[in-house]
Structure 1
Amino acid sequence: MRYASAFVDSAIESQKSDAIEKDLQEFAMMIAGSEDLKTFIKSPLISRLDQQEAITALSKKAKFQDITANFLALLAQNRRLSMIDSIIAAVTKDLAARRGEVAARVQTAFKLSPDQEKALQDALTKAVGKTVSVHLDVDESLIGGMVVTVGSQMIDDSIKRKLERLKIAMTSNANNNAPAKNVANEN
């Protein structure tokens, strides 16, 4: 993604990559926590200037780095704020790759404690052989266990998935054990 790559280059050049990554994560949390903000940045009815001014004010209030504020204003000016989720993901992935890290997405049925998060990160780092940046999501529908995605690999060790597999196994066994119909004796 062109915007993300250029932004990462600028962030690294200015030696503020950690700060801008933090700014973008905070901006993502603001969007996730506000339906009004989500609607505002995705609406084609809001003028470029209004979006740009609002984003500049928001960036100032949040005390974002100048480079982050300018980047978000540029996205508003070019009508790209609607793509902010994928842009933030691309920036995060690019920064992690440049640090020699691999990003992992972990879904759990409940919020992990800081000790559990650290143990999980250590275990994933050991398994992958690189530093792993873990992004945690809570999905209560998993019931228990977790789903780990690293790159294109996914490990689903959730109770939900185990129950689905058990249901499939029981259904197929029930179908296989049903008495066979004797077609020869029907006439």
Structure 2
Amino acid sequence: MMPNPRLAARYAKSILDLSIEKGELEEVYKDMLLLQDTFRSSHELVNLLRSPIIKADKKGKILDAIFAAKISSLTRAFITLLLNKEREGNLPEIAVAFVQQYKDYKGISVVKLTTAVPVSDDIKQALLQKLRTERQLQQIELDTDVRQELIGGFILEIGDQRIDTSVAFELNNIRKQFQNNDFIYKIR
């Protein structure tokens, strides 16, 4: 079964709307975070859900064994609906789509900061303050990552915008300039 982002978005929207209507948005959000994290860490479970060989009732029992005590009754009912409609293979994408739609609904901006070395809490707070004032972002979820191959500098991703000030990026630009400069090649 191939991932279907449009289908995932529709199902995510339906559970988002229902959870808002029932006043259970925060509970369902926590459930979807749990599902998302579980699917990211267990490719075997994702493969099991997408397997055409394993029957839906068996998949339901496995999901119940894993999640029954950890998720709300609304989320359990939603998973049962997916099983009945034979859409359980889309559950990993639905969880991701739900989390994104939740953040959009709540006005939460996701910002990713990638650096060559870990950044201090003071730098994180200064960055958050700057984003609040210059970008008018009020609720910010800051994800940080360390990649030593950047050598220095940082990469900042805000939505679909990317600001790359890493040393590795600059070195790559210099290398490209040398490769594209015919004069330098003729000297050799």
Bin for the TM-score computed over the shorter chain = 0.7 to 0.9
List alignment gaps of at least 5 residues for structure 2. 1-8
Partner-residue secondary structure (3-state), 2:111? strand
In structure 2, what residue type is equivalent to 1:98? Answer: Y
Cα distance, 1:8 vs structure 2: 0.6
Q: 1:125 aligns with which of 119, 132, 142?
A: 132
In structure 2, what residue type is equivalent to 1:104? Answer: V
Alignment check: 8 A CA contact 1:52 1:77 kept: no
Distance verdict in 2 for CA 1:176–1:149, change over 3 Å: same
Alignment check: 8 A CA contact 1:56 1:73 kept: no
- Aligned residue for 1:8? 16
In structure 2, what residue type is equivalent to 1:66? Answer: S
- Aligned residue for 1:99? 106
Residue deviations 1:116-149 (CA, integer Å, cap 9, x gap): 5555444433332122233445555545544333
Question: Aligned partners of 1:72 and 1:157: how far apart in 2?
Answer: 43
Determine if the alignment matches structure 1 residue 161 to structure 2 residue 166.
Answer: no
After superposition, residues 28-177 of structure 1 pair within 5 angstroms as 28-61=36-69, 63-109=70-116, 117-130=124-137, 131-136=139-144, 141-173=149-181, 175-177=182-184
Question: Aligned partners of 2:34 and 2:123: how far apart in 1?
Answer: 23
Partner-residue secondary structure (3-state), 1:177? helix
- Aligned residue for 1:25? 33
In structure 1, what residue type is equivalent to 2:39? Answer: I
- Aligned residue for 1:184? none
Alignment check: 8 A CA contact 2:35 2:92 kept: no
Alignment check: 8 A CA contact 2:116 2:146 kept: yes
Question: Aligned partners of 2:103 and 2:183: how far apart in 1?
Answer: 50
Alignment check: 8 A CA contact 1:40 1:46 kept: yes
Question: Aligned partners of 2:67 and 2:117: how far apart in 1?
Answer: 32
Could you tell me the TM-score, scaled by structure 1's length? 0.75
Question: Aligned partners of 1:132 and 1:156: how far apart in 2?
Answer: 20
Alignment check: 8 A CA contact 1:55 1:76 kept: no
In structure 2, what residue type is equivalent to 1:162? Answer: E
List alignment gaps of at least 5 residues for structure 1. 181-187
Q: Give RMSD over aligned pairs.
A: 3.0
Question: Aligned partners of 1:109 and 1:163: how far apart in 2?
Answer: 15
Alignment check: 8 A CA contact 1:109 1:138 kept: yes
Distance verdict in 2 for CA 1:140–1:32, change over 3 Å: farther
Percent identity of the aligned residues? 24
Partner-residue secondary structure (3-state), 1:155? strand
